[in-house]
Amino acid sequence: MEIKRQLDVLDKQLANNQFIAGAEYSIADMAIWPWYGALVKNKVYEAAEFIEAHTYKNVIRWADEIAQRPAVRRGRIVNKSWGEESEQLVERHSSDDFKGK
Distances (CA, A) of 25 to 50, 55, 65: 29, 23, 10
Q: Residues near 70 by Cβ (< 8 Å), separated by ≥ 6?
A: none
Q: 1-68 has which fold?
A: Glutathione S-transferase Yfyf (Class Pi); Chain A, domain 2 (1.20.1050)
Q: Residues near 82 by Cβ (< 8 Å), separated by ≥ 6?
A: 88
Tens-digit pLDDT profile for residues 26-41: 999 999 999 999 999 9
- Domain residue ranges in the chain: 1-68, 70-101
Sign of CA dihedral 40, 32, 56, 74: negative
Tens-digit pLDDT profile for residues 28-83: 999 999 999 999 999 989 999 999 999 999 999 999 999 999 999 888 877 666 67
